[in-house]
Amino acid sequence: MITICCNNSNYLVKKNRDIILPHFNKSDLEILPFDKGGKQIPNLLGEANMYYNYYMYIPCGYSIDGPEYPLLIYLHGGGKCGDLHYILNGGIPFLIKTNTWKSPYAMLVVSPQNTDGWWDVKKIHTFIKYLISKYKVNKARIYMTGASMGGFGVFAYCCEFGNAAYVAAVVPICGGGEFYRSYAFKNIHIWAFHGKKDASVPVFLSEIMINTINIFKTNDRAKLTIFPDFGHGIEECVYNSTCIGLESPSYDTFNISIYQYINGCLDIKNKLIKIGNAKKAYQFGFRITTISFCNW
């Protein structure tokens, strides 16, 4: 039994638009014990279908005999490959290690380490299935985020599995993907982030993905937030909300934490609250053949 005891581009989004927010029942979150500080535990390969070494953050009060918890999957970028402890050098694992990660909801956070050179989406899918069998996971509240190579991995996973994906909401950062498969996001909530001055992964890759995803959205709109004065290294400021207010006014406002967003996106009864009046605008006229990048 596991129990953790408490320790101390003018072709994108317009400013005037419909904002559609899901209405959801928070009771499954509110019954969870308040997380006063859990443990981030390393796990090494050794079980069937595990596929990855990983760190698992287990919140205070978690028990295998207790209620089910939301699961957030963090996919690291290319600089975190190698020894498992490298994962702790950035992103959500780093914030947890330094006690600067603040989520208003208790969550399990898993940070697998990729050794394949690129995220294998089929392995990710099987790995999530493994996690569901091992931990008390609320299967309706599985989320995914990642930066750089991890952001590409988030887009790739959803493009590959679509409605069969385990995730309800995703937050790719400084990523991109196969925009011609954007129909796969029809029922997946998504909020992407990118730095306008990103010299490693051009910002238009996120813009193209969100534009095309919104073609297939019938209820909630895919969101994109751009930081005009930032480059590639934005993940920590997104994950701990320190760059709120520094976003471009031409894109989606960064006014809540991503943890409020992903947990608020769950819409069990598919009820929607519509705020404001506006129109969606899309403008296309591009064709991509081959793109390759270094230093993801």
Residue 31 has pLDDT above 70, yes or no: yes
Residue 211 has pLDDT above 60, yes or no: yes
Residue type, 103: S
User: What element of type H or E holds 238?
Assistant: helix 235-239
Q: Quick one: which of 151, 163, 134, 123 has its CA closest to 69?
A: 134
What is the percent of the chain with per-residue pLDDT over 90, rounded to a whole number?
Answer: 67
Place 191 in a pLDDT band, splitting at 50, 70 and 90: very high
Residue 295 has pLDDT above 80, yes or no: no
| Homologous superfamily of 19-275 | Alpha/Beta hydrolase fold, catalytic domain (3.40.50.1820)
Place 266 in a pLDDT band, splitting at 50, 70 and 90: low
Report pLDDT for 13: 35
Is 52 within 8 Å of 124 (Cβ atoms)?
Answer: no
Place 55 in a pLDDT band, splitting at 50, 70 and 90: very high
Q: How much of the chain is in helix, strand and coil states, percent to nearest 5? A: 30, 20, 50
Distances (CA, A) of 278 to 16, 139, 209: 5, 34, 21
Task: Please state the φ and ψ torsions of residue 274, each to the nearest 5 degrees.
Answer: -105, 125
Report pLDDT for 154: 98
Of the listed ranges 1-5, 56-60, 147-151, the one predicted with least confidence: 1-5
Residue 226 has pLDDT above 70, yes or no: yes
* Mean pLDDT of the region 225-248: 96
Length of the chain counted residue by residue = 296
Place 20 in a pLDDT band, splitting at 50, 70 and 90: very low
Q: What is the pLDDT of residues 94-144, one digit of tens each?
A: 999 999 998 999 999 999 999 888 899 999 999 999 999 999 999 999 999
pTM: 0.82
Give the burial class of 82: count Cβ atoms within 10 A of its Cβ; 0-12 exposed, 13-18 middle, 19 or more buried. Answer: exposed
Q: What is the pLDDT of residues 71-84, one digit of tens each?
A: 999 999 988 777 88
Of the listed ranges 240-244, 247-251, 284-288, the one predicted with least confidence: 284-288
Report pLDDT for 26: 56
Is 71 within 8 Å of 107 (Cβ atoms)?
Answer: yes
Distances (CA, A) of 267 to 9, 24, 92, 193: 31, 5, 25, 23
Residue 281 has pLDDT above 70, yes or no: no
